[in-house]
Structure 1
Amino acid sequence: MFRPIFRLALLSVALAATAAQAQSDRANANAFKNRADDFVRQFPGMSMHGNDHSYTLRDLVVDADGGNHVRLDRTVAGLRVIGGDLVVQSDRFGNLRTMHHNLRWRMDGMATKPALNANRAAMAAMRTTHGEAGKAELVIYARDQQPALAWDVPVSGESDDGTPFEKHVIMDANSGSQLDAWDDIHTAAANGTGKTLYSGNVVLTTNSISGGYELRDPTRGGTYTINMNNRKSGGSVMTDADNTWGNNATSDLASAGTDAQYGTAMTWDYYKNVHGRNGIANDGKGAYNRVHYNRNYANAYWSDSCFCMTYGDGDGTSIKPLVSLDVAGHEMSHGVTSRTANLTYSGESGGLNEGTSDIFGTMVEFYAGNATDAGDYLIGEKIMIGGGSLRSMVKPSSDGASADCWYSGVGNLNVHYSSGVANHFFFLLAEGTNSAYGNSPTCMAGNTRVATGTGSLAGIGRDKAAKIWYRALTTKFTSSTNYAGARAGTIAAANELYGNGSAEANAVAAAWSAVGRN
């Protein structure tokens, strides 16, 4: 009769310890943030700090030696600055090392009274983006241009293929012209993707419930999978009586659900075991999957608003269900990007956003070591009817639209195509020009779109290449980082990981030059 009391006492001690640890973590984070604030104000030339600037903590990375990288979001006169975020890097002794941001103009003395009110801004935005406008927010827009007072108008709706969109339409608050637009729904860009459909028979961790099991993983932040039953809303967590899911075919709806859940587990394990990241947001909480979304829906997407992945069943003519392992890793990696660098989904930063997801989706596929879906440098090869893939990292232009090489107009491409530069860079850094995965030509002088060079380049291995990219993403890139910034950030990351002037750092520089970004 004493056992319940003893257990309650243990639980109380555990809860108290957990609360104390959480309080300590918050105190440490506040200390790092306060020190970063001091540096920002002490060195306004480095930080572009000015009057009425203030900062909030977005993310914190602490290195094993005690060095730290504090990611801050900026406001000026109480207005959020799009493109104003920065990373403050300090060493283990608390000394400032450097700051990373993309601002080129100061914002002191900006007028903050708009000539265009919120309603008129929303009406102007609706003329270019058809949907339902939400409440506009007055902001300062500073992505690659002279800072301007602007309205961030959220517009939601549905594309022709059934993909929902959650767009930011940025309208100049004085002239009424559109400055930018991007979507918070990050798709797999398919045009046509237990006992799984694509990965054979796999081991799943599920949750025991009354009368059977549900497709929920208590060991990975409670990640779970919902069957949408070809609807756009609703759905319920998949359940099973005997804990055997699917039949390796689409005739059993659980097959696709098993692929999605397996992909979520492998992605979780990859980030945790390779990069020390505890879930997408690094907070131990799992995202969830929605499978069998809509009818004949030939796409997949990540949404920040639901913190979830959504998968269609394909159109049955060119695309099969989009639940393959690399697509799952791709979509979840959009969530990692949104919680770190938050690369804006347009221009060159949008290409880097998509490239990041392709890179880590590929790395998840290699990490899983699944013989039925072996690692490669093709994206979505399992979901294509009749062969092919969505994208190739070996030679991106093989899809007829993606860029192999950087050139001055690459940021004008769709983000799924401008991502080719990042994909090509990563492949060359990891594997070099000649490998078992195919010959990847370098770019000729002049930064042409198609790679036609014959230069030879040695790779450093995909594991080192991925560690460099992850460190750059989480400690160097900001929301408006472009390809020039990505070159600088990855070289800096390689120097920190492997030593200044190391072979790895030299290889990073050589790989960027090989894709035309000198």
Structure 2
Amino acid sequence: MTRKQSSQRRTTLRAAALIASAAVVVVGVQTGSAGADAQREAGATAVAFTGSQRAAAVQEAQAAAAGTAEAIGLSSQEELVVRDVVKDADGTVHTRYERTYKGLPVLGGDLVVHQKRNNGARSTTKATDARISVPTTTPAVAATTVNRSAVAASDAKAPAASSARKVIWAATGKPALAWETVVTGTQADGTPSELHVITDATSGKQLYSDEAIETGTGNAMYSGQVTLGTSGTGPFTLTDTSRGSHKTYDLNGGTSGTGTLFTNSTDIWGDGTPGNRATAAADAHYGAALTWDFYKNELGRNGIRGDGVGAYSRVHYGNAYVNAFWSDSCFCMTYGDGANNVKPLTSIDVAAHEMSHGLTASTANLRYSRESGGLNEATSDIFGTSVELYANNSSDVGDYLIGEEIDINGTGAPLRYMDKPSKDGKSADYWSKTLANLDVHYSSGPANHFFYLLSEGSGAKSINGVSYNSPTYDGAAVTGIGNVKAYKIWYKALSTYMTSSTTYAGARTATLQAATDLYGAGSAEYNAVAATWAAVNVK
């Protein structure tokens, strides 16, 4: 089927109107005869900044950072660096900071300051409550030594280490002077590797490692005839100027660089078959546009970073590469062509999954390891599913299955099931102490299960033609509140209350606070969140 599009934008966006000065955003608050719950949700929903408004908000917060650090009780050796600013419609501002100690980055020291309007009540959410202090900032172990050990710790092909940088490690245990080394190479399946290795600068012991290239899989060529944002009048290019100038490139089997921007003499892209190189490009470009619209219209976020800047997509990566991945270093999404180069991994849910890794990196920055890594992967599954449902595309009907079309295992089964994650044979349905030992794609299970139950409830049912039967840990029935409320609660928690080290227990606290902000303490939604976490054994 032909992918057809126009250089003019054909989709009407529902965006909040903003009136702003250079540094202060002025937003109307819903009033009048609306009910208290409606007013509360409107007040707690994020306002979509333009790029200049966000830049002004960040600049304003940075100018006040020294005073903020003192006000929240940090030592004179510590400084705050603004990373993100989220403003609610009622004027509450959530400012996310990284920390430094004697000029060194504090990994795991991130925090969020929540400030009510008109200098009202202030509260702080911290990744760690530990006091940041080390006896010395002079390392006993040389950078060259830790680089060698970091390379040895990597399973990548042709590993190479960057120059180690000196940091304070505060994400686990007592804060310590450490080295951070980035080891690059290629993983066994062809995915690039950017392994971050943290080494104690006093003892030389490895403290932590995580992979910065975040992978995901899904289906391809199931969107049918779609409208894309393009530029030009002949030749045309896959450049979507209405969505942050997102571009889609052809790597043509390469594994580095951007390749070639898709260009065509007509505004027709692909023919619905993998033999036409523009087919995969059309799917990837369409998925990116849907995700952008979902973020803006449903979550009040102007792009992945909230700054109005689009990422870019690369298709036809490598040879028969059966995966897709997000990389913060290029701020881009990359897609392989799948088995035998005939199943490009470029569907709606894959695009949304990958972009949502960028969203997580720009907000909570959940570390891609252990429980926080599972929450990171679950966030991408949650928003990948939510975008697919939001798209309402008759050729790729929304569901709570991950990778249901690609048949990567050759059995016709999905990669993951949100209603009962253990059906894939590897994922966990419920939280347990051993969860942190699982690969992050499988420790995501309880959070995926939570999201399904919060959206749809427990028990047997059919949704959009798919049968589900979701159990609970204690056998108690759970009633869902709908997908829209569920993803709004998750996004609110992610963007304003989760931090880099959030665990499942922390996610429970964050989502309960988000439900309070959106719907009120003791509301039906709040009670549903509490009951649903109990249903996946997080109490």
Correspondence 1:290 to 2:290: no
Residue 42 of structure 1 is matched in structure 2 by: 71
Deviations 1:325-344 (A, max 9, x none): 10110000001111111111
Residue 77 of structure 2 is matched in structure 1 by: 52
Residue 8 of structure 1 is matched in structure 2 by: none
Query: Does the 8 Å CA contact 1:391/1:399 hold for their aligned counterparts?
Result: yes
Amino acid in the other structure paired with 1:303? S
Query: Following superposition of structure 1 onto structure 2, how do residues 73-88 of structure 1 map, counting pairs within 5 Å?
Result: 73-88=98-113
Residue 482 of structure 2 is matched in structure 1 by: 461
Deviation of 1:382 (Å) = 1.9
Gap regions ≥5 residues in structure 2? 1-18, 24-50
Match of 2:348 among 325, 331, 341: 325
Distance 1:18 1:92 in 2: 16
Match of 1:158 among 186, 193, 208: 186
Correspondence 1:473 to 2:494: yes
Amino acid in the other structure paired with 1:485? G
Query: Does the 8 Å CA contact 1:39/1:96 hold for their aligned counterparts?
Result: no
Query: Does the 8 Å CA contact 1:33/1:70 hold for their aligned counterparts?
Result: no
Deviation of 1:68 (Å) = 0.8
Match of 2:239 among 206, 211, 216: 216
* 3-state DSSP of counterpart to 2:334: strand
Distance 1:121 1:28 in 2: 39
Residue 14 of structure 1 is matched in structure 2 by: none
Deviation of 1:43 (Å) = 3.8
Query: Following superposition of structure 1 onto structure 2, how do residues 477-496 of structure 1 map, counting pairs within 5 Å?
Result: 477-496=498-517
Residue 47 of structure 2 is matched in structure 1 by: none
Residue 369 of structure 2 is matched in structure 1 by: 346
Deviation of 1:229 (Å) = 1.2
Distance 2:164 2:261 in 1: 35
TM-score, L = length of structure 2? 0.86
Q: Structure 1 residues 420-429 or 124-133, which shifts more?
A: 124-133
Higher relative contact order (CA 8 A, sep 6+): 2
Query: Following superposition of structure 1 onto structure 2, how do residues 173-188 of structure 1 map, counting pairs within 5 Å?
Result: 173-188=201-216
Deviation of 1:245 (Å) = 1.3
Amino acid in the other structure paired with 1:387? G
Distance 1:340 1:182 in 2: 18
* 3-state DSSP of counterpart to 2:232: strand
* 3-state DSSP of counterpart to 1:69: strand
Residue 13 of structure 1 is matched in structure 2 by: none
Distance 2:181 2:426 in 1: 30
Deviation of 1:175 (Å) = 1.4
Deviation of 1:320 (Å) = 2.4
Deviation of 1:390 (Å) = 1.5
Residue 228 of structure 1 is matched in structure 2 by: 251
Name the structure with the higher helix share.
1
Query: Does the 8 Å CA contact 1:343/1:352 hold for their aligned counterparts?
Result: yes
Query: Following superposition of structure 1 onto structure 2, how do residues 313-392 of structure 1 map, counting pairs within 5 Å?
Result: 313-316=337-340, 320-384=343-407, 386-392=411-417
Residue 497 of structure 1 is matched in structure 2 by: 518
Residue 309 of structure 1 is matched in structure 2 by: 333
Query: Does the 8 Å CA contact 2:353/2:381 hold for their aligned counterparts?
Result: yes
* 3-state DSSP of counterpart to 1:179: strand
Distance 2:204 2:515 in 1: 43
Distance 1:340 1:504 in 2: 24
Residue 97 of structure 2 is matched in structure 1 by: 72
Deviation of 1:180 (Å) = 0.9
Deviation of 1:36 (Å) = 6.2
Distance 1:333 1:475 in 2: 16
Match of 1:436 among 462, 469, 492: 462
* 3-state DSSP of counterpart to 1:85: strand
Amino acid in the other structure paired with 1:292? H
Amino acid in the other structure paired with 2:481? I
Deviation of 1:233 (Å) = 2.8
Query: Following superposition of structure 1 onto structure 2, how do residues 52-201 of structure 1 map, counting pairs within 5 Å?
Result: 52-129=77-154, 130=156, 131-188=159-216, 193=219, 197-201=221-225
Amino acid in the other structure paired with 2:127? N
Distance 2:457 2:292 in 1: 28
Query: Does the 8 Å CA contact 1:102/1:144 hold for their aligned counterparts?
Result: no
Deviation of 1:39 (Å) = 4.6
Deviations 1:387-416 (A, max 9, x none): 221111111111111111111121111111
Deviations 1:144-189 (A, max 9, x none): 3111111100110001111101110111111111111111111015
Amino acid in the other structure paired with 2:148? M
Residue 507 of structure 1 is matched in structure 2 by: 528
Distance 1:464 1:25 in 2: 26
Deviations 1:403-433 (A, max 9, x none): 1111112111111110111101111111110
Distance 1:279 1:223 in 2: 10
* 3-state DSSP of counterpart to 1:334: helix
Amino acid in the other structure paired with 1:155? V
Residue 293 of structure 2 is matched in structure 1 by: 269
Gap regions ≥5 residues in structure 1? 1-16, 445-453
Amino acid in the other structure paired with 2:307? D
Query: Does the 8 Å CA contact 2:321/2:339 hold for their aligned counterparts?
Result: yes
Query: Does the 8 Å CA contact 1:51/1:108 hold for their aligned counterparts?
Result: no
Deviation of 1:142 (Å) = 1.3
